[in-house]
Amino acid sequence: MRLIEQVPVRESRACVSLRLVAEALRPDRDRGERQAALHRAAQVLLDAVRTYLASPKAPDRLSMVEDPERSIIAIMRNLAEASPALKPRTSDLIGMSDRKPHALLARADGLLPLSVPDDTDSALLGDFCDEAREYIESAEAAMLVLEREPDDVEAAQTVMRAFHSIKGTAGFLKLDGLVALAHHGESLLGERRQRDGFAGRIAALSLRALDALRDTVQSLDASRDGLPLAYPPDFVDVLRELENADAVPAVPGAMPAAPRGATAAVARDSGATHTARVRLDRLDALVDLVGELVVAHWMIAQDPAAGHDHPELSRKVAHAGKLVRDLHDMSMGLRMVPLRGTCNKLVRIARDLAQRAGKEVECRVEGEMTELDRNMVELVADPLMHMVRNAIDHGIESPAERQALGKPATGCLTLRATQMSGHVVIALSDDGRGLQRERILERAQVRGLVRPGEQPSEEDVLDLIFAPGLSTADRLTDVSGRGVGMDVVRRNIQALHGRVDVQSEPGRGTTFTIRVPLTLAITDGMLVRVGAERYIVPTTNVIVSFRPDRSALFSVGGRGEMVRLRQDVLPLVRLHALLGVDGACEDPTAALLMVVGAGERRSALLVDAILGQQQVVAKAVNAGIGDVPGIAGAAILGDGRVGLILDVPQVLELARRAQPFTGTQAVA
Amino acid sequence: MSAAAGKYVTFFLGDEEYGMEILAVHEIIGVLPMTRVPRTPPFVRGVINLRGRVISIIDLRRKFDLPPCEPGPTSCIIVVAAHAAHVGLLVDRVSEVADIGAADIAPPPPLGAGAHTDYLVGVAKSGARIRLLLDISRVIDAGDLAVAGAPGGAPTAA
């Protein structure tokens, strides 16, 4: 925003009012509301500039503001012409903040408690936190590059820019501690790095500074919800170290050894691209609209009028179809973000944990540019973090133990992400000691998960680690081994319509494989027919489908119907009765049984036929009629009609309670 | 609360003419193929695909306990906004947009206890025509909508 430079507004009120202007110009507000807000904002801004001009410390750039009233009008005009949908970054609002002279920097000794000025706009503080987090994230990624290529100027500048930007905005918010920390961080990466190179102490200190920044930002963000503000415990220590590093002259030729712990191999992001911030609801609306377009086009293409009798028209329709498909792919891609951020975070965690546990671990990341729906990225991060903790804590042995076993002292942790037919597969492998089958089985027997004398297969034993309350850690550490863990991981991944599996070889290592769909917006489903109705059963719930023999059917106590499938006995759920559908096939031997599972519970759903497998865009069905038990959502099917997506766990729950709907004749 | 003067969209259910404030009406569309939603009250006819949005359809005949009948060539769906959602109302025929003056509006007649008249907010007379004015947010009662959500909730029998 160039206009800020014309008027060096440092008054917070002025900045807040600029935000008000931007808010007021939001296109989704109605005219009356906008005008009132604009008027209010203009008043505040005018007042602020007047105060500023009246102050004795008016700067040299004063001459640029000849007539306050006129310049305000110019600002307003500029703002209105600037794209009103673009959210101004807080750092833009503040403009180029000058470097504070050292004397004005807060010192570690005598640092006042963390606080924000009373009149701080909560939204502004939130924006600052968001932005600071983005900067910290990009700085961390750049640090990993620097570690491999200490002379990479671009990476160093990324980190410096992060510190610099945070410093600028923090200064505006009067967060003196943050300003000081960021200031020293910046000069550490700048002048010091040029003198001493990026290694050892500087690298470690920069990372700690980033951590301290992040924790402080976290506290600031939480304070908006009324939580108490405080610097993280080691903030003062980090600041003091940074101050010392800034003050001590360089010792030529002294190159500290590389830090013990993990070294990361993260490919450099060479193809830097420009990005734009877009409101998520608009993005979602766009994706929805394109989905409609696909269906609308499908209907045209299916129309006999566009058939073989009219080759010219059918050629045009086919061409449009190609464009529509491309558009669809692209719009789905808009919400996709690479896993790189998550991978970087995991590498950092691995490094920290390894250091703490006295282990040497090398992290390898492959396929970090694999993309996933942005919502999914956040949701897979937690389970992955847990698995990394487990791998470092329990999987990889100490250097001494490894050498005794004839393994290299440095353990290896590999994170590999690939995309496969609508799914992202993330494999986390370590070359540690592997899972101890005997101990798992022993624990499972103690917990009653396996009956004494029972001999489960190898696979089933490994699968037991996902059972609730099973932990084989010999000792508790502060990072993992509290007996809650892999069951939560599996539950979280299943909630994403995904699955997690484990493979392990004693002494050679363990591999966890997570498989999740690219997006939650699209459900992979089996389209089934029940009478004249069609339903979508999410594929993740479907185990197998079969047509039973008469002999496989029996009933228990004249009540529940059961079906035998190999050695399993499953309850038979008559979907037509449960959902009140008339005219469905009621004889299982003439229809189809679909074995579905939700957690531990498995049942066989009676359906007329399976019409096919397809991906559908899940939409809410409750608009206007409340939540419907048994129905997870709705989707527009290929013919433009609505199909309902079954919520399998709820359907099974309904069946268990055996409350078939009785009033259906009135609805049909 | 009684009905205010203004523009009303009027429609027929059987021989009876009803009116609702035009501001509540989002659009009027023909009858689209509906998908029945299980375990919902009988007056919930199903859901339709309205340009990619899934909206539910309420059969006003069933809602008002009138003899049910299948949609015919003149049947329409009036899409209204109520309780922060769009809902379609299935009616026999849309009649007109009528300007109804305050002088023409009488309070709803007392119909005795048990009659579902709480959504009837007035009666408009013009000549021999009598139009029953509805408060649409009461027709689509938030409580009604929640019925389907009650776990194992007994549906209202028709």
Res B76: pLDDT: 93
What phi-psi label fits residue A565: left (phi over 0), alpha (psi between -120 and 50 degrees) or beta?
Answer: beta
Task: With beta carbons under 8 A apart, name residues in chain B contacting A640.
Answer: 33, 49
What are the pLDDT digits (tens) for A267-323? 444 444 567 777 777 887 887 778 778 777 777 777 777 667 788 888 888 889 889
What are the pLDDT digits (tens) for A151-169? 777 788 788 888 887 887 7
Closest CA in chain B for residue A657: B152
Rounded alpha-carbon distances, angstroms, from residue A545 to A530, A539, A614: 15, 12, 16
- 3 state SS of A508: coil
B155 within some domain: no
DSSP codes of every residue in A578-613: HHT-TT----GGGSEEEEEEETTEEEEEEESEEEEE
CA distance A573 to A630: 13
B154 within some domain: no
Tally of domains within chain B: 1
| Yes or no: domain A522-667 corresponds to CATH 2.160.10.10 | no
Enumerate the β-bridge partners of residue B27: B79
Res A5: pLDDT: 38
Rounded alpha-carbon distances, angstroms, from residue A600 to A23, A468, A487, A541, A597: 51, 12, 13, 12, 7
B44 interfacial to chain A (CB closer than 8 Å): yes
List the one residue out of B154, B46, B20, B24 whose CA is nearest residue B100.
B20
Provide the mean pLDDT of chain A. Answer: 74
Residue with the bigger pLDDT between A106 and A228: it is A228
Task: Say if the Cβ atoms of A623 and B85 lie within 8 Å.
Answer: yes
- Specify the amino acid at residue A90: T
CA A324 to chain B, closest CA, distance in angstroms equals 15
The interface pTM score, or ipTM, of the predicted complex is 0.82
B1 within some domain: no
Residue A61 has pLDDT above 50, yes or no: no
Residue A70: partners with Cβ closer than 8 Å, 6 or more residues away: none
List the one residue out of A616, A624, A625, A606 whose CA is nearest residue A645.
A616
B153 within some domain: no
Could you tell me the CATH number of the domain that includes residue B89? Answer: 2.40.50.180
Q: Are B35 and A644 within 8 A, CB to CB?
A: yes
Res A591: pLDDT: 92
Residue A221 has pLDDT above 90, yes or no: no
Residue A96 has pLDDT above 60, yes or no: no
What are the pLDDT digits (tens) for A486-537? 877 888 887 787 888 888 888 889 999 998 887 766 677 899 999 999 999 9
Extents of the domains making up chain A: 2-88, 102-251, 280-335, 339-517, 522-667
Residue with the bigger pLDDT between A281 and A58: it is A281
State whether the Cα torsion A140-A145-A147-A150 is positive or negative: negative
DSSP codes of every residue in A110-149: TPPPP---TT--HHHHHHHHHHHHHHHHHHHHHHHHHHH-
CA A374 to chain B, closest CA, distance in angstroms equals 23
Residue with the bigger pLDDT between A90 and B52: it is B52
Segment A319-334 shows an average pLDDT of 84
Task: Say if the Cβ atoms of B54 and A642 lie within 8 Å.
Answer: yes
CB atoms inside a 10 Å sphere around CB A505 = 12
- Specify the amino acid at residue A133: R
Task: With beta carbons under 8 A apart, name residues in chain B contacting A581.
Answer: 38
Q: Which of B44, B52, B158 sits opposite A636 (nearest CB)?
A: B52
Look at the block and give the residue holding tokens 């690298």: A203
Average the pLDDT over each of A93-102, A483-492, A532-541 and give the range with the smallest value: A93-102
Overall residue count recorded for chain A in this entry: 668
Distance between alpha carbon B84 and the CA centroid of its chain, in Å? 16
Task: With beta carbons under 8 A apart, name residues in chain B contacting A668.
Answer: 36
| Yes or no: domain A102-251 corresponds to CATH 1.20.120.160 | yes
**A611: part of which helix (H) or strand (E)?**
strand A609-617
Residue A133 has pLDDT above 50, yes or no: yes
Provide the mean pLDDT of chain B. Answer: 81
B56 interfacial to chain A (CB closer than 8 Å): yes
B157 within some domain: no
Q: How confident is the model at residue B34 (pLDDT cuts 50, 70, 90)?
A: very high
CA A332 to chain B, closest CA, distance in angstroms equals 16
Segment A236-264 shows an average pLDDT of 58
Residue with the bigger pLDDT between A57 and A426: it is A426
Res A12: pLDDT: 46
Q: Are A633 and A646 within 8 A, CB to CB?
A: no
Question: Homologous superfamily of A339-517 in CATH?
Answer: Histidine kinase-like ATPase, C-terminal domain (3.30.565.10)
Residue with the bigger pLDDT between A593 and A178: it is A593
What are the pLDDT digits (tens) for A633-665? 888 887 778 999 998 888 888 888 764 443 333
Average the pLDDT over each of A92-106, A452-466, A574-588, B30-44 and give the range with the smallest value: A92-106
Q: Which of A291, A292, A628 sits opposite B39 (nearest CB)?
A: A628
Range(s) of the domain holding residue B136: 6-147
CA A620 to chain B, closest CA, distance in angstroms equals 7
Res B61: pLDDT: 92
B87 interfacial to chain A (CB closer than 8 Å): yes
Q: Which of A90-99, A270-279, A572-581, B108-117 has the highest mean pLDDT?
A: A572-581
Going across the sheet that includes B93-100, the strands are: B93-100, B6-13, B16-21, B129-134, B120-126, B105-106
Residue A196 has pLDDT above 60, yes or no: yes
Task: With beta carbons under 8 A apart, name residues in chain B contacting A285.
Answer: none
Q: How confident is the model at residue A18 (pLDDT cuts 50, 70, 90)?
A: low
Residue A142 has pLDDT above 80, yes or no: yes
What are the pLDDT digits (tens) for A375-412? 788 888 888 888 888 888 888 889 999 999 999 989 99
Average the pLDDT over each of A205-209, A253-257, A268-272, B134-138 and give the range with the smallest value: A253-257
Res A132: pLDDT: 84
Task: Say if the Cβ atoms of A626 and B148 lie within 8 Å.
Answer: yes
Q: How confident is the model at residue B149 (pLDDT cuts 50, 70, 90)?
A: very low
State whether the Cα torsion A191-A192-A194-A198 is positive or negative: negative
Closest CA in chain A for residue B55: A623
Q: How far apart are the first and last CA of chain A?
A: 61
CA A561 to chain B, closest CA, distance in angstroms equals 21
Residues 10-39 of B with CB under 8 A from A: 33-39
Q: How confident is the model at residue B78 (pLDDT cuts 50, 70, 90)?
A: very high
Closest CA in chain B for residue A618: B54
Enumerate the β-bridge partners of residue A596: A542, A603
Residue A228 CB burial class (10 angstroms; 0-12, 13-18, ≥19): exposed
Residue A617 has pLDDT above 70, yes or no: yes
Share of chain A above pLDDT 70, in %: 70
**B120: part of which helix (H) or strand (E)?**
strand B120-126
Residue with the bigger pLDDT between A228 and B121: it is B121
Task: Say if the Cβ atoms of A663 and B47 lie within 8 Å.
Answer: no
Task: With beta carbons under 8 A apart, name residues in chain B contacting A663.
Answer: 42, 155-158
What are the pLDDT digits (tens) for A541-573? 888 999 999 888 888 765 678 898 888 888 999
Res A87: pLDDT: 37
Task: Say if the Cβ atoms of B40 and A641 lie within 8 Å.
Answer: no
- 3 state SS of B86: strand
B86 interfacial to chain A (CB closer than 8 Å): yes
Residue with the bigger pLDDT between B146 and A394: it is A394
Enumerate the β-bridge partners of residue A429: A414, A511
Segment A240-269 shows an average pLDDT of 52
B156 within some domain: no
Q: How confident is the model at residue A194 (pLDDT cuts 50, 70, 90)?
A: low
Task: Say if the Cβ atoms of A627 and B53 lie within 8 Å.
Answer: no
